[in-house]
Amino acid sequence: MSIKVRYFASLKERLGHAETELELSAPLSAGQIWQRLNPAIPLPEGTLTAINMEYASLDSLLTDGDELAFFPPVTGG
Amino acid sequence: MSIKVRYFASLKERLGHAETELELSAPLSAGQIWQRLNPAIPLPEGTLTAINMEYASLDSLLTDGDELAFFPPVTGG
Amino acid sequence: MQIKLSAEPFNPWQILHDYETEQRQLAGQYGATAVFVGTMRDFNQGDDVVVMQLDHYPGMTEKQLTRIVEQAQQQWAILDGLLLHRVGKIEPNDTLVIVAVWSAHRGDAFDASRFIMEALKKQAPFWKQETLSSGEVRWVSSNSDGYLKPAHNAK
Amino acid sequence: MQIKLSAEPFNPWQILHDYETEQRQLAGQYGATAVFVGTMRDFNQGDDVVVMQLDHYPGMTEKQLTRIVEQAQQQWAILDGLLLHRVGKIEPNDTLVIVAVWSAHRGDAFDASRFIMEALKKQAPFWKQETLSSGEVRWVSSNSDGYLKPAHNAK
């Protein structure tokens, strides 16, 4: 099961990369994926999560081919 | 004591004239002036009153040189 | 700050472009511009309208508009404002009014522009007389609450 | 209805003029146009800002903007709308965003344009990075409530 994980803005800078491909043998939630990929870094407070470009909660389970994104509060307009 | 009285929009049309000069020997209120000038026509409901281009009540007393105006509800914008 | 009546048609976007360009001291200061443009429709209350006469009370109209803009300046942090209102003979799709407010932050511009428009509709001495396609000529008796759907009246 | 991102600078009044001119079917239908234009200031939180980078999430940004405009269409009687947002490298006094709504009556245009702007600020994935005159580069951490004076927070 293949998941694409993307980071934006300050989170991308802090982690030093914009995206990662992840192979999973069992379904994980968005929060569990963050922990697996960034075990030393607690998810920063206020971080937003999107699955396939829709806002999602950290409890949401990912399925094959999903695109998961983490990003800081938005500041457009 | 000289007062200028003006009418606008539908009120002007209904009365058939736009303005009148009025000579008074004693102070009258805006409402009393309407009655004196238009004894057969009750002041139409919703009519607005202005003295010297400021909104005023029908009880306001006029003084020499004042401009009194009567007009229907405004419909600009 | 500009408050004006115009007996001639104008293009609202051209006016806004020119005005903003002239206000060089504003450049870099404003983060928000809220604009309302009122335009003559070719229908009203179910009837086709072919032309409109917009009367006003010269002197009082300007005085009331100035007061309304000053009240907005007292209530909100405004950097600049523009209020231009048509008078005289008006054809469908002509611009009736422009209200524009420049401010550092959006809330002030949004609130102030709406306040000015609502106050203008209630207080500024203008009167519309419509000529319908049937030939009938009628005075518009009052302004609506501003919503198409009655459901919004309750808001 | 047009929803677009632009990596190039644009003149908001020219855009609005051109868009309205193209929508010939709207002529005579709309009585109200409410517009918000967001512009880059040369200061923020007390610091001079010399340039800004506006990042976004290609695909998701457009998706969220489209949803927001659709929600506005469901809530208010809108005839047409325009939403144009800058991305990329931005200089002071550049336009960041235009939101324009055309409707028959003013309340619908006012409400819908403000709804779209507030929703965009909260939901659309854009991120601002400012370069200050000191050379410092910083991410803007969150949007303000939109008022200069804290007193308005209570409203």
Q: C-alpha distances in angstroms, C99 versus B18, C13, C103, C120?
A: 30, 12, 13, 10
Enter the tokens of residue A7: 């980071």
Question: Mean pLDDT across chain C, nearest whole number?
Answer: 95
Mind listing the pLDDT tens digit for each residue in B28-54? Answer: 999 999 999 999 999 999 999 999 999
pLDDT tens per residue, range D95-122 = 999 999 999 999 999 999 999 999 999 9
Q: C36 and D32: CB-CB below 8 Å?
A: yes
| Domain-located, residue B76 | no
CATH topology of domain D2-21+30-139: Aldehyde Oxidoreductase; domain 3 (3.90.1170)
Q: What is the mean pLDDT of chain D?
A: 94
Chains A and D are touching, with contact defined as 3 or more CB–CB pairs separated by less than 8 Å:
yes
Alpha-carbon span D111 to D119, nearest angstrom:
12
The half-sphere exposure of C8 on its side-chain side, counting CA atoms within 13 A, is 3
Adjacent-strand bridge partners of C99: C36, C83
**Inter-chain CB proximity D141 and A69 less than 8 Å:** no
Residue A10 falls within a domain, yes or no?
yes
Minimal-distance CA residue of chain C relative to B51: C60
CB contact under 8 A, D125 and A10: no
Q: What is the pLDDT of residue D153?
A: 44
- Å from D39 to nearest chain C CA? 4
Interface of D with C in 45-74 (CB under 8 A): none
Average pLDDT, chain B: 97
Q: What is the pLDDT of residue B13?
A: 97
Which residues from chain A sit within 8 angstroms of residue D59, using beta carbons?
Answer: 53
The rounded distance, in Å, linking the Cα atoms of C139 and C145 is 18
For C67-94, what is each residue's pLDDT tens digit?
999 999 999 999 999 999 999 999 999 9
What is the residue range of A54's domain?
Answer: 2-71
Chain D residues within an 8 Å CB radius of A10? 127, 139
Q: What is the pLDDT of residue D145?
A: 86
User: Length of chain B in residues, anyone?
Assistant: 77
Q: How many CB pairs under 8 A join C and D?
A: 132
- Indicate the pLDDT class of residue D152, thresholds 50, 70 and 90: low
One-letter identity of residue A9: A
Question: Is the model's pLDDT at C153 over the cut of 90?
Answer: no
* DSSP secondary structure string for all residues of C67-118: HHHHHHHHHS--SEEEEEEE-EEE-TT-EEEEEEEEESSHHHHHHHHHHHHH
**In the predicted model, is pLDDT for residue C151 greater than 60?**
no
CA distance D147 to chain C (A): 5
- pTM score, two decimals? 0.95
* Separation in Å, CA of D106 to nearest CA in chain A: 23
Pick from C64, C85, C128: CB nearest B75: C128
Residue B19 in domain: yes
pLDDT in tens, C92-103: 999 999 999 999
Cβ contacts (< 8 Å) between C58 and chain B: which residues?
none
Q: What is the nearest CA distance from A46 to chain D, expressed in angstroms?
A: 10
- Residue B30 in domain: yes
Number of independent structural domains in chain A: 1
Q: Is D34 on the interface with C (CB under 8 A)?
A: yes
Q: In the structure, what pLDDT confidence band is assigned to residue C154 with cuts at 50, 70 and 90?
A: very low
Per-residue model confidence as pLDDT tens digits over C8-63: 999 999 999 999 999 999 999 999 999 999 999 999 988 999 999 999 999 999 99
- Partner residue facing A74 (CB), from D97, D117, D124: D124
Inter-chain touch A69–D60, beta carbons under 8 Å = yes
Q: What is the pLDDT of residues D30-68, one digit of tens each?
A: 999 999 999 999 999 889 999 999 999 999 999 999 999
Asked if residue A77 belongs to a domain, the reply is no
**Rg, Å, chain D Cα set:** 16
* CATH number, position A67: 3.10.20.30
| C152 pLDDT more than 80 | no
How close D125 gets to chain A, by Cα (Å)? 5
Q: Which residues of A touch D85 (CB under 8 A)?
A: 76-77
Rounded to a whole number, what is the distance in angstroms from the first to the last CA of chain A?
37
**How much of chain D exceeds pLDDT 70, in percent?**
96
Binary contact (C139, B72; C-beta < 8 A): yes
